[in-house]
Chains A and B, each alone.
Chain A
Amino acid sequence: MKEELIVSGRMNPYVDPTLNIWHWQIPLYLFLGGLAAGILFFAALSYIRGREEAHSFAVRKMPFLAPVLLVIGLACLFFDLNHKLFFWRLYTTVKLQSPMSWGAWVLMVITPMSMVWCALHIKEFFPNWDWKYTWAKEAEKFAQKYKLWIAWIILIYSVILGVYTGILFSAFNARPLWNTSILGPLFLASGLSAGAAAIIMFTKNKEERAYFARIDLIVIGIELFLITHMFMGFMASTQVQIEAANLFLGGPYTAPFWIFVVFLGLVVPALLEILELFDYHVPALVPSLLVLTGSLMLRFLISFAGQESRYLY
């Protein structure tokens, strides 16, 4: 058989033998960003649809987690930078071709917006809360008046944030595994599913839980559909993408991906949620924790496997 042997004198530890530039910070941030996007999406959606009373937990209490997640995520991003003191350069440029650039701007909008949303509902946790200064009271009144507008902004930007966590990877055509635009909708669906799971896990309202369990079920279905299509696309594509798919179809990532992401992260929670619909009692913690773990694992596996996939030479 004809063989090929390539010896390179480069020895750069960041790219040889495979890319090794991003570690745990980036996938963790992508998970936290996706989860925050899911939480904010459902809060804004339920409010816009006039379901504030029916889904009071999702609208009023759950969003308090979002700014915390976003700030932790931003800290992860910051600590991943090699030239940290120049991070502000992100905000002196707008580069539409670079997902990282517009992602940084989207975070700059949605993080403060999520904080405003929490401020509007602060009495949920502190019933005697008093804005000490008149300007703060005025600001709250102003935000209260335009709450529907704020909800729309949060809704739109949460979708962009969810898609961006995937598109960040698709922009790199040098890494064949990442170079598929399906990662955008897949990571959005995964984030929405994680957001719904977080609501199911924490709400005490039985009807609200059942409602979001149904939504989660639909989103899990969409995710399975997108994963199938991702692999179909790879297998019908060029040699480098076939090899990228093989990392998950027999290669080193096969077991973790199909066990933790697909089986335990999607199939099992979907079955448990179906059982719940038929009035079997399933502790809400189990499917939601599985979905959240699956969502986290998806980010880690795609991030690490993508760095191993490369062009042939």
Chain B
Amino acid sequence: MRYAMAIDTKKCVGCSDCVVACQTENNVPIGYCRDWIVEETNGTYPQLEMELRSERCNHCANAPCVRCCPTGASHIVEGGIVLVTQNDCIGCGACIASCPYDARYPYPDGYVDKCTFCYHRVKKGEKPACVEVCPTKCLYFGDLDDANSEVSVILKKRKYKTLIPEAGTDPQLYFLI
């Protein structure tokens, strides 16, 4: 099993509904977020192109945060989801420094927190909160090993890219372009 997410940059309008849904679902403290919107503008005026991306932890197959964690608090569970065990985390910051996507933050209690792909929902067969609420239905979630899953189907049809593949992390967020 290999969970992954596809984000349609052509359909995303940058409304931040995914951000708010996540903050509500996961009790994210005020001032932080587990997912966020990036607006990237490219070109020379007046020929400009804008790409909107809903970003979060890439749940890398070769995760530098898991490698650098000195206590094993950052670990990979079934389906390739990267999680942090709160009471194993000493809050040293190694994982925050090791993440090229800057997806982690220290929770006010001290341990490090990040996107869990809503593991508590996924376990029950539900979709992550951000996918569930997206008004333009631009987020696709599922199992890459299952050829009929939503995410496998869309990745077969569309062109996509991943972020900073040169960092050697084998990221599992696919941005449809």
Give the B-binding residues of A (Cβ under 8 A): 1-16, 19, 21-22, 80-84, 86-87, 89-90, 92-93, 95, 97-101, 104, 171-175, 238, 307, 310-313
Contact = CB atoms under 8 A, between A and B. Distances in A.
Interface residues of B, number: 49
Contact of B98 (A2, A3, A174): A174
A172 B64 contact: yes
Given A98-B68, A174-B100, A86 B88 contact: yes
A307 B99 CA distance: 12
A297 B29 CA distance: 36
Interface stretch (B117-125, B139-147, B159-167): B159-167
B92 A15 contact: no
Interface stretch (B1-9, B34-42, B148-156): B34-42
11 contacts: A2-B42, A4-B42, A6-B38, A7-B40, A8-B39, A12-B102, A83-B90, A84-B91, A92-B71, A98-B68, A172-B98
B41 to A, nearest CB: 4
A3 B43 contact: yes
B129 interface: no
Contact of B96 (A1, A19, A311, A313): A19
A-B pairs with lowest CB-CB distance, top 7: A82-B91, A83-B110, A83-B91, A100-B70, A174-B100, A101-B70, A15-B102
Contacts of A21: 93, 96-97, 106
A31 B90 CA distance: 22
B40 A5 contact: yes
Nearest to A89: B71
Nearest to B89: A83
B16 A95 contact: no
B67 A171 contact: yes
Contact of A16 (B70, B72, B102): B102
Contacts of A175: 97
Contact of B70 (A4, A19, A90, A307): A90
Given A89-B90, A93-B71, A101-B71, A5 B96 contact: no
B93 A82 contact: yes
A101 B94 CA distance: 11
A81 B112 CA distance: 11
A172 B98 CA distance: 5
B45 to A, nearest CB: 9
A21 B102 CA distance: 11
Contacts of A313: 163-164
Contacts of B72: 93, 95
Looking at B16, B39, B97, B166, which has the most chain A CB atoms within 10 Å of its CB? Answer: B97
Given A6-B41, A8-B38, A11-B31, 14 more contacts: A7-B38, A8-B37, A12-B32, A14-B105, A81-B90, A81-B91, A83-B91, A84-B91, A86-B87, A86-B90, A87-B90, A89-B87, A98-B67, A307-B97
A80 B19 CA distance: 30
Contact of B44 (A2, A9, A101): A2
Looking at A9, A84, A310, which has the most chain B CB atoms within 10 Å of its CB? Answer: A9
A313 B55 CA distance: 12
Contacts of B67: 97-98, 171
A86 B110 CA distance: 10
A12 B41 CA distance: 21
